Amino acid sequence: MGRKWANIKEKKAAKDANNSRVYAKFGIEIYVAAKSGDPDPNTNQKLRFVVERAKTYNVPKHIIDRAIEKAKGSGDEQYSELRYEGFGPNGSMVIVDALTNNVNRTASDVRAAFGKNGGNMGVSGAVAYMFDNTGIIGFVGNDADEVLEYLMEKDIDVRDVTEEDGQIIVYTEPEDFHVVQEALKEKGIEEFTVSEIEMVAQNDVELTGEDLEKFEKMIDVLEDLDDVQKVYHNVELD
């Protein structure tokens, strides 16, 4: 895996520090997950995953609880899960996942974010085939071999286990994500620094100069949109 996920997570957390918009986005995602089944993280795997993600971003417990309670109560807001794909400068590719209660607004906002920053929207499937859906679990540690051996002893297959700047990063098949995470909890891992299922680019590209500036601005604009939950791309950023 070419990227340093520990560093990416730290930079994103720093960017999102004290950002109530991040909390609001997680509130919506938790509400939707709770509405999709039993509003109990112990029995609703989708909800449990979102709650675990929220914890890695230090989302306050009261925001998590409030979203779940809203789903239990009279909340009847309807959200659509959407995916947009597009291109940035010089061969860069972008995938945008959104949750929205206004499809037309979101499509217009995403298209504008691409168009005003040197990119353009593509059709469904235009770039997704160049990404692999991958579970990524991170925690503080420095012995990747020991973690891999432990998982092998538990008869759990993973794609890779690496050590990145004082953290262990485990790459899994998406369908094995929860099995791996539960096994790590049994090992005594109580806190995760990364808990994501990401679209990981098969090959990264490097941008420089004006292309890089335009791309970084485009990503910032996309991530700042209220309806956008995740943005994936194939550009190696410092």
Question: Which pLDDT tens digit goes with each residue over 41-51?
Answer: 999 999 999 99
| Average pLDDT over every residue of 2-23 | 62
Torsion of CA 6, 223, 40, 158, to 10 degrees: -40
CATH number for domain 80-129+202-233, candidates 3.90.650.10, 3.30.70.980, 3.30.505.50, 3.60.20.10: 3.30.70.980
132-200 is classed CATH 3.40.50.720:
no
Residue 4: pLDDT over 90? no
pLDDT of residue 9: 56
Long-range pairs for 130-133: beta carbons < 8 A, 24 or more residues apart: 130/93, 130/201, 130/202, 130/203, 130/234, 131/93, 131/95, 131/199, 131/200, 131/201, 131/202, 131/232, 131/234, 132/199, 132/200, 132/202, 133/174, 133/197, 133/198, 133/199, 133/200
CATH T-level assignment (fold) for domain 5-72: Arc Repressor Mutant, subunit A (1.10.10)
**Percentage, residues of the chain above pLDDT 70:** 91
Spell out the residues 6+ positions from residue 211 whose beta carbon is closer than 8 angstroms to its own.
89, 90, 92, 118
Domain ranges of the chain: 5-72, 80-129+202-233, 132-200
Do residues 59 and 26 lie in contact, with contact meaning Cβ atoms separated by under 8 Å?
Answer: yes
Element (H, E) at 177: helix 177-186
Question: Which pLDDT tens digit goes with each residue over 162-200?
Answer: 998 889 999 999 999 999 999 999 999 989 999 999 999
Do residues 179 and 208 lie in contact, with contact meaning Cβ atoms separated by under 8 Å?
Answer: no
Element (H, E) at 115: helix 103-115
pTM check: above 0.85? yes
pLDDT of residue 213: 93
Q: Are the folds of 80-129+202-233 and 132-200 the same? A: yes
Closest CA to 32 of 178, 236, 229, 170: 229
